[in-house]
Amino acid sequence: MKKSIQEKDIIEKLKQVKDPEIGLDIWMLGLVYKITLDAEGVEILMTLTTPFCPFADELIADVEKRVGELGYDEGDVRVDLTFEPAWEPSEEVKMMLGV
């Protein structure tokens, strides 16, 4: 693990990854469930707004790119998708989306 990189640094990078359909970042949307820092790098457990999201590959690549900017080597940023629990927007996000 890179000693100077902390979870808050990763969160700041995740806030730069926007969902192309909704226009909000994946952190605000609550799509990131867990961040694990270990000797091999960082693992991000996240979901998508729907299992059929047409932008899944694009979102994963953007997460890997943005977090990788912190100095990780290729392959050190691992993204695992889960759909358990299914994503539900927070009340704040619902208000922002007018839902």
Domain ranges of the chain: 7-97
State in words which class domain 7-97 has.
alpha beta
Question: Which residues make beta-bridge pairs with 46?
Answer: 32, 81
* Confidence band, pLDDT 50/70/90 cuts, at residue 3: low
Which of 15-19, 49-53, 86-90 is most confident?
Answer: 15-19
The Cα–Cα gap between 56 and 48 comes to: 7
Residue 8: its pLDDT value, please?
96
Residue 19 identity: D
> Which pLDDT score is estimated for 44?
98
The pLDDT confidence band at residue 33, using thresholds 50, 70 and 90, is: very high
Q: What is the mean pLDDT of residues 47-54?
A: 92
